[in-house]
């Protein structure tokens, strides 16, 4: 198997991810618009039917917003079968009514009569249920005419694939176009598109959006399928009986009404990405405001310490293999890059993917202080604001390091790189095993949360003050 080059395949990967995101956004925005129109119409209808309810019309936008927020709280816009779950609609309306009732009792004390709330609750439930049913029929008709179908490939032998297709059809699945199937490596099938080990080539050569695993594959084959799908932005589903111990996040969901598990390479997906991005922007702006005087002093000191520019710029590899320019305060003499080759034998890492010298002769006097205090990283806050980096994430590698990557190393490029991360707070340059660095970063990606980012940032402050592993 040839090493995976994310830079060569990123266009196909990004297209698949973009199509998936666009489909989800269209679904969510359409349902929000439909529900908002129906709720607004119910308020206007009640005002027209009963004059005493006419005074509620100015509150219609607030009522619509409250119902939409309640439906979102109950995941009524989630993928899979959520839009067809009438219980979520009824519970969402009930939660909105409870909040509105509380607002009629406590300040600001909205003028909503109990009779209005009762009438509104009943009509809103009926309207939302009818609206979702109508939307579902429109979507079904589009699928029946071949519009919006997702191209899918199943993995398993002929019997397993047949049972899976039968089960999907029994549950009303009509939104997939099954291109064919891949047979397990040890069960050759002339009717198959190939073997499970050929999945990478298949995804590179055909526009397949989804893979559904219907067979219990050996661990090595299963990991190969998972890696190929994650690297190429293809959605991966497995039948519940197939999942054993897999190194990824399994999300219970449905294909039509058929229960399946969707496998994710990380928890960093929409809307978690928006949450992390908001955290980055707010944190970077606050840090720049607080650190602006210090950054001016550092810039002056760097300029006076040695000839050359204040900032050091270097090409790095970010999310999806896209390169960007990273900014730092210059810590080395101007000829540092030219001298790197002659000092390669002093590299503390036994792996060319990482390069660091404990007493690097290329580092200036001011540079030694900046590196030990990690203040040379402050200009990367501008990279964060530009969206090229995050406050917390894997270390961004240089292109020459990526050239030597093995397939499992590319998971580091599945998220935006960070100024700090698990490697920096877990030992930094004291950890000289590249595989251990990758393992730490993969664990971070798989268990991401805002709380974890906050913990790493606080631990970074402690590490910086101690100077642990910095040189």
CA distances to 179, 202, 215, 224, 236 from 154, in Å? 8, 12, 9, 15, 10
* pLDDT tens by residue, the chain, 471 residues: 334 444 445 566 667 767 777 877 888 899 999 999 999 998 888 888 877 777 777 888 888 998 999 888 887 887 666 677 788 889 889 888 888 888 776 666 666 777 788 888 899 999 999 998 898 888 888 877 778 788 889 998 888 888 887 777 765 556 778 888 899 888 888 888 888 888 988 888 888 888 888 888 888 888 888 888 877 878 888 876 655 545 566 666 766 556 676 766 655 665 667 788 888 999 999 999 999 999 999 999 999 988 889 999 999 998 877 889 999 999 888 776 666 666 665 665 555 556 666 667 788 889 888 888 888 999 999 999 999 999 999 989 888 888 888 877 877 887 889 999 988 887 665 666 778 888 888 888 877 878 888 899 988 888 877 765 555
Q: Give DSSP secondary structure letters for 146-203.
A: TSSPEEEEEES-HHHHHHHHHHHHHTT--SEEEEEEEE-TTS--TTSSEEGGGHHHHH
How many Cα atoms sit within 13 Å of 316 on the Cβ side?
23
> Rounded distance, CA 199 to CA 381, Å?
40
Q: Which residues pair with 258 in a beta bridge?
A: 255
Q: How far apart are the first and last CA of the chain?
A: 38
CA angle at 445 for the pair 440 and 451, rounded to the nearest 5°: 100
Q: Provide the whole-model pTM.
A: 0.51
Q: CATH 3.40.50.20 region(s) of the chain?
A: 150-264
Tell me which residue of 129, 104, 130 sits closest to 118, measured CA to CA: 104
Residue 386 DSSP symbol: T
Q: Give DSSP secondary structure letters for 211-226.
A: EEE-S---HHHHHHHH
> Rounded distance, CA 27 to CA 19, Å?
12
pLDDT of res. 302: 92
Cis peptide before 156 (omega within 30 of 0): no
Span 150-264 CATH architecture: 3-Layer(aba) Sandwich (3.40)
The Cβ of residue 423 has, within 10 Å, a number of other Cβ atoms equal to 21
Tell me the chain's radius of gyration from C-alpha atoms.
28
């Amino acid at each position: 198997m040839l090493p995976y080059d994310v830079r060569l395949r990123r266009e196909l990967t990004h297209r698949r991810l973009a199509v998936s995101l666009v489909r989800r956004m269209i679904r969510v925005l359409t349902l929000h618009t439909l529900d908002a129109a129906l709720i607004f119409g119910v308020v206007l209808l009640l005002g027209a039917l009963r004059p005493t309810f006419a005074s509620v019309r100015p509150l219609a936008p607030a009522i619509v917003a409250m119902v939409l927020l309640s439906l979102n709280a109950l995941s009524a816009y989630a993928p899979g079968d959520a839009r067809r779950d009438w219980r979520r609609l009824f519970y969402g309306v009930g939660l909105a009514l409870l909040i509105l009732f509380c607002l009629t009792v406590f300040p600001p004390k909205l003028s909503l009569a109990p009779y209005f709330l009762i009438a509104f609750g009943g009509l809103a439930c009926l309207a939302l249920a009818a609206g979702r049913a109508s939307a579902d029929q429109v979507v079904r008709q589009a699928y029946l005419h071949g519009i919006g179908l997702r191209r899918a490939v199943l993995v398993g032998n002929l019997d397993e694939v047949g049972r899976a297709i039968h089960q999907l059809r029994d549950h009303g699945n009509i939104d997939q176009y099954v291109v064919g199937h891949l047979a397990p490596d040890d069960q050759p099938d002339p009717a198959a598109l190939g073997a499970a080990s050929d999945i990478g080539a298949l995804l590179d050569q055909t526009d397949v959006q989804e893979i559904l695993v219907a067979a219990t594959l050996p661990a090595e084959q299963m990991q190969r399928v998972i890696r190929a799908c994650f690297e190429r932005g293809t959605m991966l589903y497995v039948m519940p009986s197939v999942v054993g111990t897999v190194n990824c996040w399994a999300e219970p969901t449905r294909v039509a009404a058929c229960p399946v598990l969707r496998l994710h390479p990380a928890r960093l997906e929409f809307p978690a990405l928006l949450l992390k991005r908001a955290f980055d922007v707010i944190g970077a702006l606050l840090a720049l405001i607080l650190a602006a005087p210090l950054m001016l002093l550092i810039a002056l000191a760097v300029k006076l310490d040695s000839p050359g520019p204040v900032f050091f710029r270097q090409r790095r590899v970010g999310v999806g293999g896209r390169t960007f320019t990273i900014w730092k305060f210059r810590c080395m003499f101007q000829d540092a890059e030219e001298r790197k080759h002659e000092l390669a034998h002093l590299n503390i890492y036994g792996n060319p993917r990482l390069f660091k010298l404990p007493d690097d002769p290329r580092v200036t006097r001011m540079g030694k202080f900046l590196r030990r205090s990690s203040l040379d990283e402050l200009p990367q806050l501008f990279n964060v604001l530009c969206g090229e980096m995050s406050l917390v994430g894997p270390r961004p590698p240089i292109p020459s390091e990526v050239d030597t990557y093995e397939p499992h190393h590319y998971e580091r490029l599945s998220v935006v790189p960070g100024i700090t991360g698990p490697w920096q707070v877990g030992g930094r340059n004291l950890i000289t095993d590249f595989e251990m660095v990758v393992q730490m970063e993969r664990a971070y990606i798989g268990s991401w949360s805002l709380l974890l980012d906050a913990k790493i940032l606080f631990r970074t402050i402690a590490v910086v003050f101690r100077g642990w592993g910095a040189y």
